[in-house]
Amino acid sequence: MSLVDQSDPLPDAPPERRPRHIAVIMDGNGRWAQRQGLPRIEGHRRGVASVRNTVEECARLGIEQLTLYCLSSENWKRPQSELDFLMHLLEQYMIEERSVIMRQNIVVKIIGRREGIPEGVQREMDKTIQMSAANTGTRLCLAINYGGRAEMVDAVQRIAADVRESRLVPESIDETTIADYLYTSGMPDPDLLIRTAGEMRISNFLLWQISYAELWVTDLCWPEFGIEQLHQAIRDFAARDRRFGGLN
């Protein structure tokens, strides 16, 4: 859709019923490519277009945060050639999307461990983060070399260190404390979790944060996911009755 089109494409999902934070498990790049008779890396290349469309539409809709599961800590088990290509795509994305990020007032954040990510890629990541830091629009959070259990391990280690140094009293530790030590400190929890390629699992993604997220799964692979599917997920979310364990 045109960036200058100010009409609301979701009149049946009023802003107050839309998710503040959408998280996406972008699955099925390789399967999509294989079905087309193409190398797996072509699926990843095509998936970048879906990323671009989704990010731009969330910014246009005023979604507060979009978190994308780009590379899990388990993905390092893949062939080195595929990992090298993923790193190349990530570096390329960080460079080529800066103009769009700045034009649409997007703030870029990255969560996950840095081990294994090439220094050149890290430099471009940091440049984009710094360049967009003063923006005030949609927060784009990229989960790279991320694992939910690893995040909890890191949080527990930091809490233990602060207790050891008497900066934290064990009796004061509650859910808010733990959330403050996670990679996502200061971010709202996801309201809506989208997964593509039909898989019915969360794959070690935001284990703490998605406790009350609404799940939306499509059989389409990530390269096939477009604005129409994003709108449908938001419509379905807006129509749900969220009780958080209580009664309405």
Domain ranges, residue 209: 18-147+189-239
Number of folded domains that form the chain: 1
Query: For the segment 180-226, what is each residue's pLDDT rounded down to a tens digit?
Result: 999 999 999 999 999 999 999 999 999 999 999 999 999 999 999 99
Task: Identify whether 110 is part of a domain.
Answer: yes
Active site residue 162: no
Of the residues 53, 75, 135, 204, which is catalytic? 75
Average pLDDT value for residue range 6-28:
93
pLDDT at 242: 82
Give residue 20's identity as a one-letter amino acid code.
R
Is residue 112 situated within a structural domain?
yes
Does 44 map to a domain?
A: yes
pLDDT value at 94 more than 90: yes
Structure tokens given for 45: 């290349």
27 is catalytic: yes
pLDDT tens profile 24-34: 999 999 999 99
Contacts of 226 (CB under 8 A, 6+ apart): 50, 53
Whether 181 maps to a domain, the answer reads: no
Q: Is residue 170 part of a domain?
A: no
CATH no. for residue 36? 3.40.1180.10
From the list 198, 224, 194, 202, the residue with the least C-alpha distance to 32 is 224
Please tell me the predicted confidence (pLDDT) of residue 5: 45
Q: Which of 27, 29, 145, 191 is catalytic?
A: 27
Distance (Å, rounded) from C-alpha 60 to C-alpha 235? 16
